Amino acid sequence: MAWVYDIYCKTGVRVPFPIIADRNGTIARKYGMISNDVSTTETVRNVFVIDDKGVVRTILVYPMNIGRCIPEILRVVEALQTADSNNASTPVNWVPCEPIIIPAPKTFEQLEERNRQIQKDRNGMAWYLSFKEPKDCKVVENRESKQLEEGKE
């Protein structure tokens, strides 16, 4: 908690996800976070996204000298939640509230129906790559995202 509080006090950034303390390195060793090529005691900068069932869904590994990207971590969490709740996939460079990929048809009849739907709605490129709008879309606003957007201008 002291680390998260220190980040907040010095930067004004609230870390919106749990942080685990690992004073003796037991967790780091179990998850392969110690890179013996770099150090036998210091961890590389890992981020694990673990769902409510205890399943590791995403692992991001940053070199020790590179900071993590909080907006990207939040985007990954939102992509996982959106994909799960919509029974779909997110495409490359997906950002929240953009169209998502509909699962490919499983039968030839579904393939034919998908092709008709694409012709009618113009919502895809091929029977195996078509899109839909995600349900319950909500963009999570945070300071880091705003700072990134302001920096682009």
pLDDT digits (tens, 9 = 90+) for 128-139: 999 999 998 776
Domain coverage including residue 77: 69-153
Please indicate, yes or no, whether residues 73 and 63 belong to a single structural domain of this protein: no
Q: Indicate the pLDDT class of residue 143, thresholds 50, 70 and 90.
A: very low
Please indicate, yes or no, whether residues 64 and 112 belong to a single structural domain of this protein: no
pLDDT in tens, 19-35: 777 888 788 888 878 77
Please indicate, yes or no, whether residues 63 and 136 belong to a single structural domain of this protein: no
Please indicate, yes or no, whether residues 63 and 86 belong to a single structural domain of this protein: no
Q: Dig out the tokens for 95 from the structure.
A: 């950002």
Query: Phi and psi (nearest 5°) for 137?
Result: -75, 130
State the average pLDDT over residues 41-53: 82
Query: What rounded mean pLDDT belongs to the chain?
Result: 85
Q: What global pTM score does this model have?
A: 0.71
Please indicate, yes or no, whether residues 76 and 56 belong to a single structural domain of this protein: no
Give the torsion sign (CA, 28, 57, 47, 91).
positive
Q: What is the pLDDT of residue 94?
A: 95
**108 found inside a domain:** yes
Query: Strand pairing partners for 50?
Result: 56
* Distance between CA atoms of residues 124 and 129, nearest Å: 6
Percentage of the chain modeled with pLDDT above 70: 84
Q: How many independent structural domains does the chain possess?
A: 2
Please indicate, yes or no, whether residues 61 and 36 belong to a single structural domain of this protein: yes
Please indicate, yes or no, whether residues 30 and 82 belong to a single structural domain of this protein: no
**62 found inside a domain:** yes
The alpha carbon of residue 111 and the mean position of all alpha carbons in its chain are separated, in whole angstroms, by 30
**17 found inside a domain:** no
Among 40, 92, 42, 77, smallest CA distance to 62 is for 42
**146 found inside a domain:** yes
Length of the chain: 153
* Distance between CA atoms of residues 32 and 61, nearest Å: 10
Please indicate, yes or no, whether residues 73 and 61 belong to a single structural domain of this protein: no
Please indicate, yes or no, whether residues 45 and 80 belong to a single structural domain of this protein: no
90 pLDDT more than 70: yes
**12 found inside a domain:** no
Q: What is the pLDDT of residue 58?
A: 95
